[in-house]
Chains A and B, each alone.
Chain A
Amino acid sequence: MIEVKGLTKYYGQLAAIEDVSFSVDKGEILGFLGPNAAGKTTAMRILTGFSPPSRGTAVVAGYDIKSDPIEVKRRVGYLPESVPLYGEMLVSKFLQYVAEVKGVERGRRKAEVGRVMERCGLSNVSQRVCRNLSKGYRQRVGLAQALIGDPPVLILDEPTVGLDPRQVIEIRQVIKDLGRDHTVLLSTHILPEVTMVCERVLIINRGRIVAQDTVANLAGGTARSLEEIFISAVARDAADDQAAAHVAAASAGGAL
């Protein structure tokens, strides 16, 4: 469903992600892990067609993100990290607008908006203005917006940030349910979340993939050991860099 090949993105000289390749099958939930500024959001933004890659490409739901961006966008529901909303709009009006641009037929729009509001627990705030929503409800509106039109691929950038513990459990359950018949790419900092929700994990550090396997294989299924894997994977990378720096310094010294 998602097929990423050699994705690279430069911001000026800085490579935000470098030569990232992975794939996600239909009905799979892939956890996208990594420290801050590892390149998770950059990768997701490329897959959703928000920013173009410098090199490499990806095929999402059967369409290339470079040559058929509109077809890709029709099939992807995206929850951005900061959950941008039109502050002055009513929740229901906003979702209706999204339904319209997502190409949901006129007659089905009301039902579709009702369906996602139900699913994300928004029915009681449908007549509230987005600006006045709490962080948790903003997050839910963002998720609801991604679910409109029932796209086969969901890309969720830290979906449980800012939610209270009960909401976290609810939203995780929603994502788990969605994972049965959708392809989900989910980024998070919360390691237990990965073991609870995801089948497979991809750890990214400084723009490069450092580990990629099933949760069971990586961690024996516990969050504790996943944490160790995460830290060692990230640290190994740093050690490599240090070693490389040593070699570079040594060779520079040799040249002198």
Chain B
Amino acid sequence: MRNSWAVCKREFASYFTTPIGYVVVGIFAAISGLAFSASFLFYAKVSVNPAMYAYSSVPDFEETLLSPFLTFCGTLIVFIGPLVTMRLLAEERNRGTMELLLTQPLRDREIIFGKYLAALGMLVVMMGVVAVHLLIVSWYVQVEGAVLVFGLATVFMMGAAFFSLGLFVSSVTSNQVTAGTLTFGLWFILYILGSFAEDLPEANPAPESWGETFRNGVGFLYDIFRGFLHQLPIDFHAKEMAKGIVQPEDIAYYVLFAAFFLFLTFRSLESRKWRA
């Protein structure tokens, strides 16, 4: 644990001794700030004249402004997340410091955990930017506490899950651009597969002419397949949570997602022991 902390400190500090930390946080602050102002102005217009925008009364603040904004921040983190995670292990490989890292008395899990913590540190910094927006809002409006807390938690969990994917990709290549592109590409593929599932018919695709048992079997597998595709987009479980409606399965999804990719990273780093 102490070793993880040492790795984490070095890694996190290097975000801010190189331009990358400032660029990522700066871009995030600029875009989330613009998005926030835009949606705030829109909400102001709607609440002055709800009828014009097909609302019967002034719409709920949390539902129309806050939750969509938080979900947007989550998506934004996913967009610039590859910039945070792509260097984690790929850069060590590329500049040869991997040799130094792996000959220090550090266990693989300490290295991986330390790197992951450093990336989460960047996430916390970005969440800090979001928190500033929310503080400004709570100055003027009475905001539901649950929405605030769970909204932020949602963004954090979504980012944390996504960063674990990025860490894994960074562990399989020695080129940062490859790692970044792959991470972003994987996210996009998951996203597209998810919307593909939306369009799949709900009914059993097996023809009527097939035997009943066989048909039921196909239908059963098809349902699992469709359900699986549905769950792939990383923001699928965030939408409800950002409204303050938390279900254990949503939290479990993100925790398992992160655990799965951390496990893969561990295996990937370990593979040096049996690969030539």
Contact = CB atoms under 8 A, between A and B. Distances in A.
Interface stretch (A70-78, A158-166, A219-227): A70-78
B18 interface: yes
B104 A98 contact: yes
B102 A49 contact: yes
Interface residues of B, number: 25
Contacts of B104: 73, 98, 101-102
27 contacts: A45-B99, A49-B103, A50-B99, A50-B102, A52-B274, A76-B103, A80-B96, A80-B99, A80-B103, A82-B96, A82-B99, A84-B97, A84-B98, A84-B99, A85-B97, A86-B10, A86-B14, A88-B17, A88-B18, A89-B10, A93-B13, A97-B10, A98-B104, A101-B3, A101-B6, A101-B105, A101-B106
A20 B3 CA distance: 34
B261 to A, nearest CB: 24
A100 B11 CA distance: 14
Contacts of A101: 3, 6-7, 104-106
A66 to B, nearest CB: 10
Contacts of A52: 272-274
Interface in A38-70: 45, 48-52, 54, 70
A58 B110 CA distance: 25
Contacts of A48: 103
Interface residues of A, number: 32
Nearest to A66: B273
Given A88-B18, A89-B17, A145 B107 contact: no
Contacts of A49: 102-103
B47 to A, nearest CB: 49
A108 B7 CA distance: 19
A22 interface: no
A73 B14 CA distance: 25
Interface of A: 10-12, 45, 48-52, 54, 70-71, 73-74, 76, 78, 80, 82, 84-89, 93, 97-98, 100-103, 145
A87 B95 contact: yes
A80 B99 CA distance: 7
Nearest to A49: B103
B100 A84 contact: yes
B276 interface: yes
Contact of A100 (B6, B13, B273, B274): B6
Contacts of B100: 80, 84-85, 145
Contacts of B17: 88-89
Contacts of A78: 103
Contacts of A10: 276
Interface string B98-125: 1110111111000000000000000000
A86 B17 CA distance: 11
A27 B172 CA distance: 41
A98 B96 CA distance: 16
Q: List the 3 closest A-B pairs by CB distance, nearest first.
A: A84-B96, A73-B105, A100-B6
Nearest to B3: A101
Given A49-B102, A84-B99, 9 more contacts: A10-B276, A73-B104, A73-B105, A73-B106, A84-B95, A86-B97, A89-B10, A100-B6, A103-B105
Contacts of B99: 45, 50, 80, 82, 84
A4 B98 CA distance: 24
